[in-house]
A and B are shown apart, each in its own frame.
Chain A
Amino acid sequence: MKKIAFPVALILAFAGLPLLIKSNYLLGILIIIGLYAIIVIGLGILMGYAGQVSFGHAAFFGIGGYTVAVLTTACHWPSIAALIAALILPGLVAAIIGGPTLKLKELYLALATLAFGILVHILFNELKGITGGPSGLTGIPYFTVGGLVFDRDIRFYYLVWSAVLLVSLGVNNLIHSRVGRAMRAVRESEHASESVGIDTAALKLQAFVFSAVLAGLAGGLYAFYVTFISPSPFGFHTSVQFVLMAVVGGLGTFWGPLLGAGLVVALGEALRWATPLVIPGAGGEYQIIFFGAILMLVMIVKPGGLGAVMDLFKKSEEGEAH
């Protein structure tokens, strides 16, 4: 009973939040946090459980977004079909590039995924016939399912956070399953995992594809939300932010992605407001410095991230390691 009390209270709090928040600006921030949380949950599986890093997930986020944009505007697909395609296409791309890429380790894997992210970002800019180039695509319709049109922020808020809830439930099942256990084993020792019959290459690829599918889902929803898409939100900078969220939140923890996405987005907004007060005329580049400093601070003070603090509470309840 006690075990489910906290999640249920949290769900109720999220369901009730829009009743208190009248500002569309704040609601918009919560929607973005939800979208990023979906991506970081996937990245958390890849990094925190399977132990593989990716500095290219903004690319999958973008592929999902462009899939929805192109299919709904140029091809006039129904929104549900376009959203499903936004899951499949990034998954396929991940499956294709994952084979050779995941053979690399650590720094080399980081560089390969980074290069992939940059390449896709260039394609968004240059494939003008499909993506509209730097000026992007406009006129994406609102997400519509049945007769329900998600044309207002409050509706979209519920749509996005329902998706967060569903994804969280799935991932919670996953990490407590045979597959989740095998993933953690791969993170701890690849040699030993192989020696007990775990197909480490297949498992890493599954985690990679899964994380790409989730990034695609977030990208598709993002396109429906802003109804306009251009290459700028899908660059290298965004990929780094996702990694930052995953690490600050805490790798290998259940609450980490939510906390990380929430904190980094909120902090980004706060900095955007505060930086010009301190340094007149400062642009977005100063945010990066702050984020870098925060990342270092987390690594020094609490290498397990915020989620590790939450897990500590849990552990003292259960009385032993899980």
Chain B
Amino acid sequence: MLLEIKSLTKHFGGVAAVKDVSFTVGEGEIFALIGPNGAGKTTVFNMITGMLAPDAGAMVFMGKPLAGVKPHRIAAMGLTRTFQNLQLFGKMSALENVMAGAHLKGKTGFLKSLVRWPGSTAENNRIERHSLQLLEEVGLRDQAGMYASALPFGQQRLLEIARSMASNPRLVLLDEPAAGLNSAETKALAEYLKRLRGRGKSMVLVEHDMETVMEVADRIMVLNFGESICEGTPEMIRADPLVIKAYLGEDEQIA
């Protein structure tokens, strides 16, 4: 198993934001977390990436515990993320955003940077080529020189995904990657995620767009008020009466 989450729990004040949640993610798998707003999905992401300490539970990535590890160390272990409320480097170009995302692929330090140490330019060029390649993959090659903040919202989402891929992680946590995308962009995103899975990348996906989730996810967990109410394949989730009730109300059906 790539990622194992066991009995993860987090309280805010007296309210349980996440309660006894357990799941696993395997190699080359897309695992989706769905549920109404406030169900605790982003809180789970924040705990896995070390931005928030859990009250209880265990998180193990590639055999190593994640509890107490600093966020940048977790990234170095091969686990990166995107943010629901975009966290781009606004006043940097799209290319620089991805190049900063590839920070772990370089090793030129402060002093070597000051004197332009031999090899640092070559390293920078290598990172630039790699980053342009990633921009190409998400269809942003032509926007490479534009400030991230100047891009339309949909392209900003894609840029964040490209940035999260730049250090070549094993597992990426995607927090609502389709939010704000139009239907053509959403389709392209789903194709891209499947392509990444084809290359052996694993992903945890938090997403409200059911069509995308049903299309790309291998397994789905449904959270409601911080608790898992159901886990299984897209077919199983579609048929589960508890899910239909929690997620869409009594009378409707999931796409």
Given known pairs A177-B124, A185-B92, A188-B89, the reply for A195 and B75 (CB within 8 Å) is yes
Given known pairs A173-B115, A197-B104, the reply for A189 and B89 (CB within 8 Å) is yes
Report the count of interface residues on A (CB-CB < 8 A): 29
Q: Which residue of A lies closest to B101 (CB)?
A: A196
Q: For the complex, give the distance between the alpha carbons of A199 and B75 in Å.
A: 10
Residues of B within 8 A of A171 (CB): 114
Give chain B's interface residues, CB within 8 Å of chain A: 49-51, 70-72, 75-76, 80-81, 83, 87-93, 96, 99-104, 106, 108-110, 113-116, 120, 123-124, 127, 145-147, 150, 163-164, 166-167
In the complex, 29 of the A-B residue pairs with CB atoms within 8 angstroms, ordered by the A residue number, are: A173-B116, A174-B110, A177-B113, A177-B116, A177-B120, A178-B124, A179-B110, A181-B100, A188-B88, A188-B91, A191-B51, A191-B87, A192-B88, A193-B72, A194-B70, A194-B75, A195-B49, A195-B71, A196-B75, A196-B101, A196-B103, A196-B164, A196-B166, A196-B167, A197-B72, A200-B72, A320-B93, A320-B145, A321-B150
Query: How close is B133's CB to chain A, nearest CB, in angstroms?
Result: 17
Q: For the complex, give the distance between the alpha carbons of A231 and B232 in Å.
A: 72
Q: For the complex, give the distance between the alpha carbons of A173 and B116 in Å.
A: 6
Given known pairs A180-B113, A192-B87, A195-B49, the reply for A185 and B145 (CB within 8 Å) is no
Q: Let me know if A321 and B145 touch, CB within 8 A.
A: yes
Given known pairs A173-B115, A178-B123, the reply for A197 and B75 (CB within 8 Å) is yes
Q: Which residue of B lies closest to A203 (CB)?
A: B110
Q: Let me know if A194 and B71 touch, CB within 8 A.
A: yes
Give chain A's interface residues, CB within 8 Å of chain B: 170-171, 173-174, 177-182, 184-185, 188-189, 191-200, 206, 210, 320-322
Q: Let me know if B108 and A184 touch, CB within 8 A.
A: no
Residues of B within 8 A of A192 (CB): 83, 87-89, 163
Residues of A within 8 A of B102 (CB): 196
Q: Let me know if B92 and A195 touch, CB within 8 A.
A: no
Q: A179-B113, A196-B164 are in contact. List 12 more A-B contacts (CB 8 A).
A: A177-B108, A182-B100, A184-B96, A188-B88, A188-B92, A192-B87, A193-B72, A196-B167, A197-B167, A198-B100, A210-B110, A321-B150
